[in-house]
């Protein structure tokens, strides 16, 4: 049996290294709240970026980005609002929602994948 949490952690770490190579500064992994989870919280210039990581080992079950549904996006946005509140981050802080997709061994970045 595969350990999905361990695989998820490995892929999130891989995505973090990929983002750092793009100039992002990782602030934290796996922020949890009652409403959901954010895989990576990072800074990209002036932006506070909430990153969802999606991995697929092959195209058999569709592309990784296909699994970021509107329902999932809303859950991430709600959790991001809680993150801002819980960390006392000013409301006018520029924020963005990015998605890192990993298909087999290839990482891709979708900047500004959805908005509040």
Q: What's the average pLDDT block by block, 10 residues per block, for the chain (116 residues)? A: 75 95 97 93 97 90 87 94 95 94 92 86
Contact of 89 with 50, CB cutoff 8 Å: no
**Fold (topology level) of 4-114:** Trna Endonuclease; Chain: A, domain 1 (3.40.1350)
Q: List % helix, strand, coil for the chain (3-state, nearest 5).
A: 35, 40, 25
Residue 104 pLDDT: 84
Residue 1 pLDDT: 43
Q: What pTM did the predictor assign?
A: 0.93
């Amino acid at each position: 049996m595969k350990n999905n949490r361990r695989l998820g952690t490995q892929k999130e770490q891989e995505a973090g290294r990929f983002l750092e190579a793009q100039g992002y500064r990782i602030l934290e992994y796996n922020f949890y709240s009652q409403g959901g989870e954010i895989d990576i919280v990072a800074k990209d210039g002036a932006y506070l970026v909430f990153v969802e990581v999606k991995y697929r080992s092959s195209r058999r079950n569709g592309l990784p980005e296909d699994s970021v549904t509107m329902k999932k996006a809303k859950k991430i946005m709600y959790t991001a609002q809680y993150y801002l509140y819980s960390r006392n981050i000013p409301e006018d802080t520029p924020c963005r929602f990015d998605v890192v997709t990993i298909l087999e061994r290839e990482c891709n970045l979708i900047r500004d994948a959805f908005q509040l």
